[in-house]
Chain A
Amino acid sequence: MTAVLHLDNVTRVHGEGATRVAALRGVSFTARPGELVAVMGPSGSGKSTLLNLAGGLDTPTSGSVLIEGVDLSGLDVAGRARVRRTSVGYVFQDYNLIPALTAAENVALPRELDGDSRKEAREKAMIALERVGIAEVADRFPDEMSGGQQQRVAIARSVVGERRLILADEPTGALDTETGEEVLRVLRDFCDAGAAGVLVTHEARHAGWADRVVFLRDGLVVDEAAASGAYGDPLEQGAL
């Protein structure tokens, strides 16, 4: 299957001269449909840069970023914005819902920005909210919802309108472990249903939900763990 997201030998350098910092150095990265890829690494390892590049919020110094086969370097600001509203959804640590909009309106936002009528956008938003299981809070404002609900709304916003790339930046960071797990489960379900997910986290426990884990150090991919590791599955051995 073709990759939803493909970073090819991407380098991103911030600043110049003495303040020059290479955030990513020749990184290649792929996320396929149905796959949740975790990106781990300490602060400053380039996780966030990778996520910004993947959504076209930032542009690589060299190398190319492809989303569903489209090379972002050939697009201007507005073009990249269009890719974001049609193909990419972001989920953040602190939910980042627009306080002046209700849950449904927040979810509908990318659709409205893309030119859907308010009604159409709301219909799509309601579908997404049902999928994350909180259709009942559709007309509440963010400050009337719990953290877990807000993050579910954020996930619904990231997938509304059949988008197939979810970029999640520490989505459970502000939640307790149990609520965090619920959110990851939702994310995982979307990937199982065919979306590609990139989960940036510094907690191995969360990376455990991923199909693959990519370790970043100083802008380089140092390690990659696939689902079936060298040790096999201890639980399977014991239980069955």
Chain B
Amino acid sequence: MRWGFALRIAARDALRHKLRSLLVLTMIALPVLVVSAAITLVVTSQVSGQERIERKMGAAEALVWSEYRKPVDQAPDPFDWERWPVGDRLAEAPDLTDVAAVLGPDAHFVERRTERVEVRDSDKRLISFTADEVDLTHPITRGLFELTQGRLPAGAHEVVVSEPSVEAGFAIGARIEIPGVEEPAVVVGVGNDATTYDGLKVFGPIGSLIADTGPRNTGASDEAPQVWLVEGVEVTWSDVQELNERGFFVGSRAVIEDPPFASAASWVQDATGGGGDQAETLTVVLLVIVMALLEVALLAGPAFAVNARSQARTLALVAMAGGTPRQARRVILAAGLVLGTLATALGLVLGVATARVFQPLVQRFNGEWFGPFEVPWGWLVPVAVFGLLSALAAAVVPAWLASRQDPVAVMAGRRADAAPDPRTPVLGLVLLLIGVAGAWFGTQGDYTSAVPVAASAVAAMVGMILVAPVLVTTVARLARPLPLPVRYAARDASRHRGRTVPAVAAVAATVAGVVAIGIAVASDDKEYVETYIYAHAVGDGQIIWSPEEEGRDAEAGLIALAEVAGKAAPEVEVTPMLSPDLGEAEREGDYVYWEVDHDVEGNDLGPMSHGGGGASSIGIAPDTSHVYLSEDVRERADEALAAGRAVVFTDQVEGERDVVLSRVVERDYEDEVARTPDLEVALPALLVRTEGVASVIAMLPEELARDRGLEPIVTGVHLSGVADEETQQLITKALQQIDPTAEAWIERGPRSQEWQTVLLVVAVAGAVLMLAGTLTATFLALSDARPDLATLSAVGGAPRTRRAVAGSYALLVGATGAVLGAAVGFVPGLGMASALTRGDLYSGNSGPYIDIPWLLIVSIVVLLPLLTAAIVWVSARSRLPLVTRIE
């Protein structure tokens, strides 16, 4: 039962074979490093409930606000949307005296208001920033803002800004003129906002930044628009619940620091009764971890196999000195333990160090300030266990094989591995079949379940490993008519399956992953291309503009823009597009649009926006030349328009019938919508079916529109014949001279370049892994086969022969693994692809789209092994002194 001598042998052996040890260390330490660095960064970037208290409420005891509902419900920590307005909507905010009544006379309140404010600078450039009105001189606000330059606001119109705002023009001394606020705000200080890292933010006293325009009633952002900081009393969970009853959300320092429930998650589960999704996610995460474990173990496996080989004599000696097979196994397992521990420790330390080094860099890409640097031991311990497990897993099979060896044969110098158990490949095939079946099963039914797909991928992977020995043996048999180096390499690989199989399996696993992702990504891309909805013909487009005014005022702007566009690019045909005038909304926040109702059940075309800048969904035109349509639809539509009829594009029914065009005003009260059609016009129309969704919902000839009292106004500008990006940019540039919000948008068709980039990255990563696996196995094999190669050169083999053997070995390992992996990769690949492209309610059940990236697969199966072999061939001779010593 003693590990002592096994560990001693393992540790000393690791020192004796430094190159081999380094290889294993790298293979295991690298993933541990990457994962632990990533986890450390993520955890550091996350702001926990307690860290957030100060950012949100400074030194206050609590934060109270209303979202115009009563009553409400909330988690102990109400931030991050852990709150639910369950009651009726209120017209006015509930009275703060209610809060005072609950919290008692000792409670004091400090108001804080936040709003998004837009101003234009002298160049008419729009600057948008967050205005934060709070008395920063009050001690309760300590922690909300950290002053770095200047001073805090003292006067009623003095403000301080966040550092990024300085670049936007708000340096100390700058005056910010805000529409609706009488006196401009003067910047007197610069500093850091507690939460946001890169946002433009301006702090000032109440009234200095935000125009008073009635009640603020939206809860549209996580930042409540008006809050009160509470001091003087500790707010308990029962206070919170009572305030909830009265329509207030409360973030209480005491409650968040010491929540009344064991964890927020359990509270959520209690509240929602959920948890099923979590189990599934957990299963998938576990399976992914198993896959990663397998891959790491496979990559490190050959090194342990060679270790076991070089220890064969030691193990035979242990057996002869009276060691049991279990004790012999331990010698190899101890190597896994020693190297695994070292690699894990190294990976963790380097990972945390890497995270520390990269923290400032990553902070730059993140808008929110990171929390303090944190080493998340709770996460790192499982990562360490993972590293150790993968090292042990890599050592298990070689250890098992080594303990089964015949000591007499080893001492007599017979080196071949025992014949493979005929049951192993059968079991492998069974697992492969289970994998295929599981992948198929996983994609059946309405919901694609990730668990069977992931499980089948693991099954297929394990099956593949079990089949690999037979494949290697078969290749050796097939190599008979080939030249000596290839034949030698093939036979050697087959004789030493203990080290060949892990290498082949590692390559196969990598290739399977790349092929699977490749198929999934390519199929997803195919779905994107095939379900792409054209807004215009390719090369056509429109001017996009976000005017401040609407209706008639916007029309003038559009016409001006159209003129500019025409001048900028004379070859482009610029056509102002007409739509019926919607008029103006009576009230701010109202949403007005046209709706076409053609009395067909289940064919609600939904609200069709009449955006000022974009082309309207209801067009007025003599023909459909500026609408993207298929030719036969266009012909029929043009005929109907010529005949004085409206044309309505649908996806279901066809034929001539009357439709009703309504002007709908929608008053938005969050999730309740008050719709009031205030104008309804009946139109004779032709309903035509179009593929997908047309960019225009209906068109009518100008006479018909005027006849029904619909005033045509310009609501969009169509551009056609914009051949290239340069012309497009030329037009955009010209447009932005007038208004920086305007631009030329041109239809370019589906663009799949991004996906190909993903594919490329995956392929390159796969290639690197595959290269690593093959090179490791090859050089280990070479060092293992040293006596044979010495014999080879003794009987007159040139160094060329040695290189040829090395190259052949790499080719064999690479190609066998790649073919196997490519075949196996189809299973999860097709599974993922059909799951991804099944389609949904909006696009209809058009999928699945399957696209197999043959180019990628062929280059991985054919080119990559050749490349690897070439690299080995070139470097084999110069590598000779590096090869580890074999006892």
Contacts and interface: CB of A to CB of B under 8 A. Distances in A.
| A and B touching (Cβ–Cβ under 8 A) | yes
B9 A113 contact: no
Contacts of A171: none
A113 B318 contact: yes
Nearest to A108: B5
Contact of A99 (B2, B16, B323): B16
A84 B317 CA distance: 11
Nearest to A57: B408
B5 A92 contact: no
Interface of B: 1-2, 4-5, 8-9, 12-13, 16, 313-314, 317-327, 407-408, 411-412, 887
Given A96-B313, A100-B314, A109 B5 contact: yes
A166 B2 CA distance: 25
A55 B408 CA distance: 11
B8 A109 contact: no
7 contacts: A55-B320, A57-B320, A78-B324, A82-B322, A83-B322, A109-B317, A113-B318
Contacts of B411: 92, 96
Interface residues of A, number: 31
B321 to A, nearest CB: 4
Contacts of B1: 115
Given A105-B5, A109-B5, A113-B5, A100 B322 contact: no
A191 B318 CA distance: 24
A133 B857 CA distance: 67
A100 B325 contact: no
B321 A110 contact: yes
A145 interface: no
Nearest to A88: B322
Contacts of A206: none
A60 to B, nearest CB: 14
Contacts, number: 77
Contacts of A105: 5, 8
What are the 4 closest A-B residue pairs judged by CB atoms, nearest first?
Answer: A85-B322, A84-B322, A100-B12, A110-B321
Chain A interface, >50% SS class:
helix
B714 to A, nearest CB: 88
A190 interface: no
Interface in A137-172: 157
A114 interface: yes
A234 B250 CA distance: 115
A90 B322 CA distance: 10
Contacts of B325: 77-78
Nearest to A167: B320
Given A57-B407, A96-B411, A105-B5, A113 B12 contact: no
Given A52-B408, A98-B314, A101-B8, A113 B13 contact: no
A82 B319 CA distance: 10
B9 A100 contact: yes
A112 B323 CA distance: 9
A100 B16 contact: yes
Interface in A43-60: 48, 52, 55, 57-58
Contacts of B8: 100-101, 105
A98 B322 contact: no
B783 to A, nearest CB: 16
Nearest to B321: A110
Contact of A77 (B5, B314, B318, B324): B324
A114 B4 CA distance: 12
Contacts of A92: 411
Contact of B320 (A48, A78, A84, A114): A84
Contacts of B321: 84-85, 90, 109-110, 113, 157
B403 to A, nearest CB: 10
Contacts of A98: 9, 314, 317-318
A112 B8 CA distance: 12
Interface in A14-39: none
Contact of A86 (B313, B322, B326, B408): B322
